[in-house]
């Protein structure tokens, strides 16, 4: 079912997974998805395999396609496939979209993707062009989501530029957005205010990543331009691995409680294919 229709109807949560490359990781993913499915997610999303899949036995997109169908057919979840465009030709992109359409996948997260190390840009240069491609060939068959950057994309010179290009994606046909991770809610609220002033009125779902490994999360944050406030890094300093997870969950609970108190109806969790931290957050929130 199209995500935008579900967002209009009810409050809820959603979860992001990444495609596993072997049977062991696949078993972990399916168990995680089963546990989280008890919270009746509005949707789950599957990332477009890219970095980390260069030496895989199959093209990265094949792992994504397999995972999308596994979650849809085995667990009966409403699945959104991530699709990055910069490293694929337009013919390849249309082939992927046709595959999803034939398999009754209604939702696509349209992304540019990381620029290849060789600098080659094979298909669409920006997510906006991918959205236009989808609209041209599939009209209203897909519900299209996009990424939002509350602190600005790492390549954005300022927030004025960020809002300008975000609006272009909306005008091209995006129905909703999911933010990159953020740890200070003021960035999200300020981003919503900028969008309101720019007459952008699509749902913008906050993306929350529980901190379970400070080194790993710091790397992810630097890649997407997110700031980890000093009060968080100070709180996690010198803690054991177990205590980092507990404190990270506590921080995420407080963050989500504040979002809900301020009227947020939907929260998207970056799970890293593990359920424990997200389950603890959901239990505390009594969602």
16 part of the active site: yes
Counting Cα atoms < 13 Å in the Cβ hemisphere of 253 gives 16
When computed from its CA atoms, the radius of gyration of the chain, rounded to whole angstroms, is: 18
Question: 248: which residues sit within 8 A by CB, 6+ positions away?
Answer: 210, 211, 212, 236, 277
List, in sequence order, every beta strand (DSSP E) within the chain: 12-17, 43-46, 79-84, 107-111, 143-148, 176-181, 204-208, 266-270
- Could you tell me the two tokens for 204? 């913008």
DSSP helix/strand/coil, 165? helix
Catalytic residue among 5, 9, 16, 141: 16
Number of C-beta neighbours around residue 154 at 10 A: 12
Burial (Cβ within 10 Å: 0-12, 13-18, ≥19) of residue 139? exposed
Interhelix angle 90-102/60-75, rounded to 10 degrees, is 10
Report whether 207 contacts 45 (CB < 8 A).
Answer: no
- Could you tell me the two tokens for 74? 């085995």
Residues with a catalytic annotation lie at 16
């Amino acid at each position: 079912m199209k995500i935008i229709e579900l967002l209009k109807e009810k409050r809820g949560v959603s979860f992001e997974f990444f495609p596993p490359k072997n049977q062991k990781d696949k078993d972990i993913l399916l168990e995680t998805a089963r546990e989280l499915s008890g919270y009746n997610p509005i949707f789950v999303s599957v990332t477009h395999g890219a970095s980390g899949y260069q030496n895989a036995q199959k093209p990265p997109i094949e792992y994504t396609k397999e995972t999308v169908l596994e979650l849809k057919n085995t667990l009966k979840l409403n699945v959104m496939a991530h699709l990055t465009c910069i490293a694929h030709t337009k013919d390849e992109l249309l082939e992927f979209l046709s595959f999803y359409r034939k398999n009754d996948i209604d939702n696509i997260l349209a992304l540019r993707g990381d620029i290849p190390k060789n600098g080659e840009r094979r298909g669409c240069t920006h997510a906006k062009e991918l959205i236009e491609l989808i609209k041209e060939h599939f009209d209203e068959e897909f519900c299209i989501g996009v990424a939002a950057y509350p602190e600005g994309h790492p390549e954005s010179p300022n927030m004025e530029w960020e809002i300008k290009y975000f609006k272009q994606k909306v005008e091209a046909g995006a129905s909703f957005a999911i933010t990159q991770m953020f740890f200070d809610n003021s960035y999200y609220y300020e981003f919503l205010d900028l969008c309101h002033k720019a007459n952008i009125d699509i749902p913008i779902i906050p993306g929350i990543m529980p901190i379970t490994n400070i080194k790993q999360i710091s790397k992810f944050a630097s890649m997407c331009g997110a700031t980890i406030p000093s009060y968080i890094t100070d709180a996690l300093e010198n803690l054991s691995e177990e205590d980092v997870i507990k404190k990270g969950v506590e921080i995420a609970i407080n963050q989500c409680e504040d979002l809900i108190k301020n009227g947020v109806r939907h929260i998207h969790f970056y799970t890293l294919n593990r359920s424990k931290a997200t389950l603890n957050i959901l239990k505390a929130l009594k969602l």
